[in-house]
């Protein structure tokens, strides 16, 4: 009877050691995969935001001088929106500290400016003023 109990105890200890090793290996992998998926989500949200502003600028230019459009967009992380020449740029900082510029080109030139933004929903006015040669993205306000 003692040998059966000893064998059962040895199997239980063996299973415990295997579980500890598997847990020690898989938990860090799960953490890094969560960070990677969060980074992809942030980059995707930033791409949607800059593409929304870029598309609005193209539509305003298509409509001609005096045209105006209001758009809403979501900023996934704190950063700076840059409107320069023929593109809208937003810099995303990833969980490992690296940075990436998310860029959306426009067909026409924009007035160069930058706006500091924090995470959240924003509304912006995209307009082509009369007697101007560039589109303005103004009134970037948090909603």
pLDDT tens-digit readout, 93-141: 888 889 999 999 998 888 888 999 999 999 999 999 998 888 889 889 9
Q: Is 98 helix (H, G, I), strand (E, B) or coil?
A: coil
Kindly report the number of other CB atoms within 10 A of residue 100's CB atom.
14
Residue 95 CA: distances (Å) to CA of 33, 36, 44, 74: 11, 8, 15, 19
What's residue 10's pLDDT? 85
Confidence label for 16 from pLDDT (cuts 50, 70 and 90): very high
E-strand spans in the chain? 68-75, 79-93, 99-117, 120-127, 136-142
**In angstroms, what CA-CA distances link 17 with 9, 12, 140?**
12, 9, 57
Whether residue 3 is predicted with pLDDT greater than 80 in this model: the reply is no
| CA nearest to 69, candidates 123, 134, 110 | 123
DSSP 67: -
With 0-12 / 13-18 / 19 or more C-beta atoms within 10 angstroms meaning exposed / middle / buried, residue 93 is middle
pLDDT tens for each residue of 22-77 = 888 888 888 888 888 999 999 999 999 999 999 999 999 999 999 999 999 999 99
What is the per-residue pLDDT for 51? 97
Is residue 143 scored above 90 in pLDDT?
Answer: no
pTM for the predicted model, two decimal places: 0.79
């Amino acid at each position: 009877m003692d040998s059966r109990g000893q064998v059962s105890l040895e199997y239980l200890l063996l299973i415990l050691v295997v579980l500890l090793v598997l847990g020690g290996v898989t938990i860090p992998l799960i953490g890094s995969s969560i960070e990677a998926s969060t980074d992809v989500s942030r980059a995707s949200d930033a791409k949607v935001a800059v593409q929304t502003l870029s598309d609005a600028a193209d539509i305003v230019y298509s409509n001609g001088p005096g045209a105006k459009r209001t758009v809403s967009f979501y900023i996934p992380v704190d950063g700076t929106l840059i409107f320069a020449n023929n593109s809208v740029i937003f810099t995303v900082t990833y969980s490992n500290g690296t940075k990436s510029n998310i860029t959306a080109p426009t067909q026409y030139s924009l007035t160069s400016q930058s706006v500091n933004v924090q995470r959240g929903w924003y509304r912006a006015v995209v307009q082509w003023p009369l007697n101007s040669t560039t589109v303005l993205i103004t009134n970037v306000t948090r909603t």
